[in-house]
Structure 1
Amino acid sequence: MANDRSIFMGPRIRRLRRELGLTQVIMAEDLDVSPSYIALIETNQRPVTASMLLKLADIYRIDIGSLARGAGDDFNANVRAAFNDPLLADLEVSPIEIDDFASTFPATAEAVIRLYTAYQENQLALADQGNMDSNGPEPVDEARRYLTARKNFFAELDNRAEELQAEIKRAGGFEPYFSFQRIRVRHVPHDIMTGYLRRFEPHRKEILLDETLDNAGANFQLALQVVYMEMSKLISSTLAESSFETEDGEKLTRSALANYAAGAIIMPYNAFARAAEERQYDVEALARQFNTSFEQVAHRLTTLQKPSQEGVPFFFIRIDAAGNVSKRLDGAGFPFARHGGSCPLWVLHKAFSNPRKLMTQWVELPDGERFFSVVRTVTSGGGSFEQPSIERAIALCCSSEHAHKLVYTKGINISKVEPTPIGITCRLCHRSDCVARAEPPIGRALLAEDFRKPSTPFGLTDKQ
């Protein structure tokens, strides 16, 4: 066919095949071609024609646009990240060389990616050595790994939540919905709740809510109760697909999935994804539209990973004034050390000096990757004069390639932005000229200070 355009996208086809759990032989049978032809496609020795793309989309029920759009871009970006590491900076490999290498030798390039990934994991392990819990696996880490591995997206939970949201809407809201089931919702004084925000008493058919909860908090607790009543089996079956080393790890993950589903009821995927795009990811505007809190919206924005309807991939982190991380969700590939403090040059740590003020910052990691972050403090607790509250700071980050979609970058010439150079954590950052450094990096020797004292906290040799 004269108009049967073709493109090289071997790494993407290979990744798709593996995600589907297929061998080259099975995929060849499905597409009515030879296994050797599939092998040639995957090694970029044969292009993928438009007719082949259509057949892939039809047989495997995938979005042809997401498959063909920027074919190989993600793969090439991963190869570039490996070569841009400070460890290889002196080689001065040009972007053109890297892209040629990735497209000409995709299998070898994937080997480089795997080795670089293993190297990164080893670096993280070295940084974590002094902080590891000698008593065994950490439940919080188990839960975070579970969510990160799935990009914090659970299609079945979203679909069921959307059905429940429609039922609640038809009933006229949460309280009429429960009333229809002969369950009464009561808002009671804080002292009666004895330390709980929500309490369900099945024998009395009552849901008790702490009256100090604001509207967004009360709605979330009611949505959470709907989840535990209507989606417990679905959450259990979702968890059954994985094994957990600790009972607490499974409990924390179950709680995370329940919270995910509650957010999906209040902010159903299709409506929320559409609104997020229309409002250019304006967190405060979305909070008003869906009658939720700033943090709830920020949390929900990390879950927009539905195939063919993806939103901007975001990374979310919440810390207290001491720098302790109480929540972390990764949909943007933002590298964050499991232990140890994050970079003090990140505006996240300045948020407490500017409570409730929305702050933005462009940052650049040592490997050259750039991110855009939106930061603000949020308050939990309180609700009355005598009730204690705590201030936390949250950051919502996306890769710089998506930043133009955000309302916060409107009117900014992104190509001329000078980002703040930050590191993941001092032990993994090899920026020798950083005045904010708290520790020397792994693998770098210190210079003697007998005759001179550098302006930075540590003088570092050039040796790795």
Structure 2
Amino acid sequence: MPPRKVFAGARLRALRVQHRLTQGELAARLDISPSYVNQIESNQRPLTASVMLALADNFDLDLSSLATDASDRLVVDLREALADPVFGEAVPNLQELKSVASNAPDMARAVLALYEAYRKTNEKLAGMDAALSRDPQSGVTTAYEEVRDFFHYADNYIDPLDRAAEALAAELGEFGPDRLRRLIDYCAEMHNIRVVLSASVERDRLVVFDRANRDLWVNAHLEPASQFFQIGSVLCGLEQATLLDALLDGANFKAPEARAIARMGLANYFAGALHMPYGAFLKAADAYRFDIEELARVFGASLEQVAHRLSTMQRPREKGVPFFFARVDAAGTITKRHSATALQFARFGGACPLWNVHRAFEAHGRIIRQLAETPDGKQYLCLAWSYEKRVGGYRGVVRRYAYALGCEISHAGRLVYADDLDMAKAGFDPIGISCRICERRNCPQRAVPPLAASISVPADRRSVVPYEIG
């Protein structure tokens, strides 16, 4: 197969603007003609190996970031939105969507924001969402969705925050059962904060910080991994306030609550990176062949924390296996989603019922595997398990979740979970993003017809699905 041509016009233009260079000045740095720069920026010419090396030398770029098609997730999101009948029959084809996502990513995001506003306004008018109907901001992207997209388009990796957490982890020293105590001592020595593990904290409270008296009350019913995480999150707000402000200023959130939600999300990111610092975690992941139970043991973390951390390993020049990670509640709602793979999760509808994460509640306590294939032909190794989070005794708060972790089949050989699987002979389950955009014609689990396809209802034959597609 011939090598794939790399068109990176939007990224080159953004890089030039970031460094305040004209096309002529950039051409001089790369030792090419200004007209060549213009052709690359307009995606009339691909990047050559020599130009990519020149970019790496002049701007300290990771070459893999240039070769990676970061517009894939934008294409998936656009395709899902444009499947709505409101757009009529004039739906752009896949090649046109890729062109827009590559050449005009800001325009693509504007279309998504506009569709999101339309969808929410429609829901309000139809009385389908009582909460939104009470919200004066309904009809625009909610604060949570803005924050979700902030992490989504950053590949769930925040480099300066990750490195700051790694530096603090080095100060705390080696991993072991006394690491929580060392973190508590650090709070006392560096910030004059008294950390109290107290069973008297309200059961639905994880942590309470009394700033005036410098007391940090942590729920003693939490597992040690969660206690470490909560303390680390508070520490981030104290030690990384300037960095957090800079990251939040650059995000340009529109919803007034989004900044506060994102600050909490970034603090949680820091806590996870402190618990499992990048270099040590990546080394251990390779050594244990991504066995999440072994990694949980080594770092004193939960399976959820380990899986979430695996989905963030996208540091330039030190990337791990690109994973997707999701958390699903018993109603099938995806409550947490991150993906460094081509697989993206539904933004406007429910998840595919053929995905093994929905079976995890039935196999409580076991990690189950699935070989799956999406309509675009990409194949994945998917892991799923379920867990109950209980805070307190018999009458304590209980939350039940199923978790999904997976990677493309090309990386499966690095995972212990693929050792006994014969990829050449194995059958791959057909899964999709959501029924509304899935093109499969013969799916017995289909909930609704695909919005972009016509259907017919035959009079003389019946199947499990009462209509035929196409």
Q: TM-score, normalised by structure 1?
A: 0.80
Q: By how many angstroms is 1:195 displaced?
A: 3.5
Structure 1 residues 230, 416: CA separation in 2 closer, same or farther (over 3 Å shift)?
A: same
Distance 2:156 2:70 in 1: 21
Q: Which of 131, 151, 154 is the equivalent residue of 1:150? A: 154
Residue equivalent to 1:17: 12
Partner of 1:229: 238
Cα distance in 2 between the residues matched to 1:265 and 1:229: 14
Pairing 1:323–2:328 present? no
Match of 1:410 in 2: 419
1:254 aligns with 2:253: no
Give per-residue Cα distances to partners, 1:58-90, cap 9 Å, x unaligned: 2111345x379xx5x749999x99xxx9xxxxx
CA shift, 1:333, in A, is 3.0
Once the two structures are superposed, the pairs formed by residues 135-214 of structure 1 within 5 Å of their partners are 135-136=138-139, 137-169=141-173, 173-181=182-190, 182-189=192-199, 191-193=200-202, 195-214=204-223
Q: Could you say if the C-alpha distance between residues 194 and 362 of structure 1 is closer, same or farther in structure 2, counting changes exceeding 3 Å?
A: closer
Look up the SS of the partner of 1:30 in the other structure: helix
Query: Counterparts of 1:40 and 1:147 in 2: how far apart (Å)?
Result: 31
Counterpart-to-counterpart distance in 2, 1:326 and 1:167:
34
Deviations 1:375-429 (A, max 9, x none): 1112223343331312100111222222222221124232333211112111212
Q: Distance in 1 between matches of 2:423 and 2:442?
A: 25
- Output the amino acid matched with 2:7: P
- Output the CA distance in 2 between the equivalents of 1:261 and 1:332: 22
| Structure 1 pair 38–8 and aligned structure 2 pair: CA distance change class (3 A) | farther
Taking a change above 3 Å as real, the CA distance of residues 11 and 379 of structure 1, as seen in their structure-2 partners, is same
Find the residue that maps to 1:381 and give its secondary structure. Answer: strand
Change (3 A) 1:154 1:209: same
Q: CA RMSD in A?
A: 3.7
d(CA) in 1 for partners of 2:187 and 2:71?
52
Deviation (angstroms), 1:37 = 4.2
Paired residue for 2:304, among 260, 273, 295?
295
The equivalent position to 1:277 in structure 2, one of 286, 301, 314, is 286
Residue of structure 2 in register with 1:56 after alignment: 55
Q: Is the 8 A contact 1:17 1:27 kept in 2?
A: no
1:139 counterpart letter in structure 2 = A
Distance 1:112 1:167 in 2: 43
Residue identity matched to 1:26: E
Distance 1:19 1:330, change over 3 A: farther
Match of 1:94 in 2: none
Counterpart amino acid of 1:197? L
- Letter matched to residue 195 of structure 2: V
1:127–1:282 distance in 2 versus 1, CA, 3 Å: farther
Is 2:453 aligned against 1:444? yes
Number of the residue aligned with 1:426: 435
Q: Equivalent residue of 1:280, what SS?
A: coil
Stretch of structure 1 that moved more, 341-350 or 227-236: 227-236
The SS at the match of 1:235 is: helix
How many Å apart are 1:349 and its aligned residue?
0.6
Q: 2: distance between equivalents of 1:443 and 1:39?
A: 37
Distance (whole Å) between structure 1 residues aligned to residue 46 and residue 205 of structure 2: 62
Question: Percent identity, aligned pairs only?
Answer: 32
Q: Is the CA contact 1:427–1:440 (under 8 Å) kept in the aligned structure 2?
A: yes
The residue identity in structure 1 corresponding to 2:144 is V
- Equivalent AA in structure 2 for residue 459 of structure 1: Y
Give 1:359 shift. Answer: 0.9
1:31 and 2:19 correspond: no
CA contact (8 A) 1:214 1:383 kept: no
Q: Which residue of 1 aligns with 2:86?
A: none
Gaps of 5+ in 1: 1-6, 86-101
Aligned to 2:396: 387
Query: Which residue of 1 is the match for residue 84 of structure 2?
Result: none
Gaps of 5+ in 2: 81-94
- Find the residue that maps to 2:331 and give its secondary structure: coil
Look up the match of 1:245: 254
Q: Which amino acid aligns with 1:147?
A: F
Given the superposition, is the C-alpha separation of residues 152 and 446 from structure 1 closer, same or farther in structure 2, using an over 3 Å criterion?
same
Q: 1:460 aligned to 444, 460, 468, which one?
A: 468
2-side partners of 1:353 and 1:397: how far apart?
Answer: 19
For the residue of structure 2 that corresponds to 1:403, the secondary structure is helix
1: CA distance, partners of 2:445 / 2:97: 38
- The answer on whether the counterparts of 1:316 and 1:395 sit within 8 Å (CA) in structure 2 is yes
1:112 to 1:254, Cα distance in 2 relative to 1, 3 A: closer
* Contact persistence 1:161–1:268 (CA under 8 A): yes
One of 409, 422, 429 as aligned partner of 1:400: 409
Is the CA contact 1:11–1:75 (under 8 Å) kept in the aligned structure 2? no
CA contact (8 A) 1:432 1:459 kept: no
3-state SS of paired residue (1:373): strand
- The verdict on how the C-alpha distance between 1:403 and 1:459 changes in structure 2, with shifts beyond 3 A counting, is same
Q: Secondary structure at the match of 2:317?
A: coil
SS of 1:240 mapped into structure 2: helix
Q: How many residues align?
A: 428
Query: What letter matches 2:55 in structure 1?
Result: L
SS of aligned partner of 1:36: helix
What does residue 93 of structure 1 align with?
A: none
